[in-house]
Amino acid sequence: MTSSYLEGTHNELAAFGYNRDGKKGKMQIVMGLLCDEDGQPVSIEVFPGNTQDPRTVAAQLAKVKSRFGATAITFVGDRGMIKGQQIDDLGQHGFHYITAITKPQMEKLLRTGTLQMDLFDQEVAEVLTEEGIRYVLRRNPVRAQEVRDTRHAKLATLQAQVAKQNQYLTDHPRAKAQGAVQKLVARATTLRIADWVELTLEERTITLTVKTHAQQEAAKLDGCYVLKTDLTPQQASKELVHDRYTDLASVEHAFRTCKTAHLEVRPIFLRREARTRAHALVVMLAYQIIRYLASCWSAFDVTVEEGLHALTTLCLVEVAPKNAPSYHCLPTPRDAIARLLHSADIKLPKVFSLSGVRVSTKKKLQSERLHQ
């Protein structure tokens, strides 16, 4: 099974175009990243900022089929990327999909009996419906504990607010107790725990009560997730479906790296659409270099960022011998840098020719961009 991974998000990247007043204005774009099953980016595309992420899928389908000539592909995307319309489009192209469903959809399947809670107790479980839809289930114990800890922290926050309000009502006899209750109810709603806590007022004392049954009902799906696919068990085992979806994390890592980490695709403001698309392409190609360096330097106790910072200490030296033309060269790098270069199969030239080379400082570069 060959898989392709989809990821998309809004970026404040472009500044091309004009507004209604005829003035140049900043615009948002949507950037779509397509990766192979190893998380290697193979294509990047930008769309107008009012394009929703699911609407970018159709362009990726056409690209995979026409440009890459693919015939047997399974697209993997999160629940926000692959929805009903995208599933229909995939079927029309003869492609398959792996995605996840939302918590309300999980609860509906539990109510109808399609899924049972005891299935989540297995390492990886699956259910095949009569319509040919296949659900792969799992409970992540680490995530379940994180959700429980968050829920307890929210409850502790509200309890502290209740104690604070009670102390305020004691110190201020004229304060309105009902107003304090309303503030606490609003706070519980903001914390999203209002369904399983109850706030009552007796005389001028506010009491917080945890509704145990409702709390247990809210916690029953902690750490649970359900994957949805049209692949048959013969085409892919439940473990393979699960592993392919978890590989989506590598695509998300690629997206974060391109957006904010080393490459910072945003915010870069360009005036023309073609240059914005070119900028996105260059960022994707730069990410290929980062992936390569990460694999080369995996044996060392160094990150890519640290390795690149170490390489910045390399300095070009100008040698001006008597009665001979001057030239530029690199001194022999120290052992740590030499190891980084050797592991990446990088060989430094012995002599540099700098005739006709223009060097721009950061300040000059910014002013030059204004005239592009």
Nearest to residue 34, comparing CAs of 55, 63, 13?
A: 63
Lowest mean pLDDT among 179-188, 204-213, 242-251, 331-340: 242-251
Q: Which two tokens stand for residue 274?
A: 């073609």
Amino acid at 210: V
98 vs 359, which has greater pLDDT? 98
E-state strands within the chain: 2-14, 27-36, 41-48, 73-76, 96-100, 125-128, 134-139, 197-202, 205-210, 224-229, 317-319, 327-329
Whether residue 131 is predicted with pLDDT greater than 80 in this model: the reply is yes
Q: What Cα–Cα distance (Å) separates residue 103 from each residue in 61, 154, 221?
A: 27, 20, 8
Backbone region of residue 64 per phi and psi (left: phi > 0; alpha: psi in -120 to 50; beta: other values): alpha
Lowest mean pLDDT among 67-71, 99-103, 183-187: 67-71
Q: For the CA atoms of 255, 257, 259, 265, what is the dihedral angle to 10 degrees? A: -120
- Tell me the mean pLDDT in the region 256-284: 67
Nearest to residue 29, comparing CAs of 49, 43, 45?
A: 49
Whether residue 13 is predicted with pLDDT greater than 60 in this model: the reply is no
Q: What is the pLDDT of residue 145?
A: 94
Whether residue 126 is predicted with pLDDT greater than 70 in this model: the reply is yes
At 25, is the pLDDT very low, low, confident or very high (cuts 50, 70, 90)? very low
Lowest mean pLDDT among 72-76, 245-249, 271-275, 302-306: 271-275
167 vs 38, which has greater pLDDT? 167
Q: Are strands 27-36 and 224-229 parallel, antiparallel or unpaired?
A: unpaired
Q: What is the pLDDT of residue 36?
A: 73
Q: Where is 365: in which H helix or E strand?
A: helix 362-369
Out of 3.30.70, 3.40.50, 3.30.420, 1.10.10, which CATH number does the structure's domain 2-115+232-287 have?
3.30.420
Q: What is the pLDDT of residue 54?
A: 60
pTM of the predicted protein model: 0.66
Q: Per-domain residue ranges for the chain?
A: 2-115+232-287, 142-219, 300-369
- Tell me the mean pLDDT in the region 218-228: 93
Q: What is the pLDDT of residue 19?
A: 36
At 52, is the pLDDT very low, low, confident or very high (cuts 50, 70, 90)? low
Q: What is the pLDDT of residue 279?
A: 78
At 322, is the pLDDT very low, low, confident or very high (cuts 50, 70, 90)? confident
Helix (H, G, I), strand (E, B) or coil at 230: coil
- Tell me the mean pLDDT in the region 131-136: 91
At 26, is the pLDDT very low, low, confident or very high (cuts 50, 70, 90)? very low
Contact between 238 and 126 under an 8 Å Cβ cutoff? The reply is: yes
| Arithmetic mean of pLDDT over the chain | 79
Whether residue 349 is predicted with pLDDT greater than 70 in this model: the reply is yes
- Tell me the mean pLDDT in the region 144-167: 95
Q: Which two tokens stand for residue 8?
A: 């998309």
At 199, is the pLDDT very low, low, confident or very high (cuts 50, 70, 90)? very high
Measured in Å, how far apart are the chain's first and last C-alpha atoms?
A: 46
What are the two backbone dihedrals, phi and then psi, of residue 293, each rounded to the nearest 5 degrees?
Answer: -65, -35
Side-chain-side CA neighbours of 36 within 13 Å: the count stands at: 8
At 50, is the pLDDT very low, low, confident or very high (cuts 50, 70, 90)? low
- Tell me the mean pLDDT in the region 200-224: 93
Q: What's the pLDDT tens digit per position in 27-49?
A: 455 566 777 767 777 777 776 66
- Tell me the mean pLDDT in the region 156-163: 96
Nearest to residue 33, comparing CAs of 318, 283, 346?
A: 283
- Tell me the mean pLDDT in the region 282-288: 81
Q: What's the pLDDT tens digit per position in 286-313?
A: 888 888 888 899 888 888 888 888 888 8
Whether residue 105 is predicted with pLDDT greater than 60 in this model: the reply is yes
Q: Are strands 224-229 and 205-210 parallel, antiparallel or unpaired?
A: unpaired
6 vs 65, which has greater pLDDT? 65
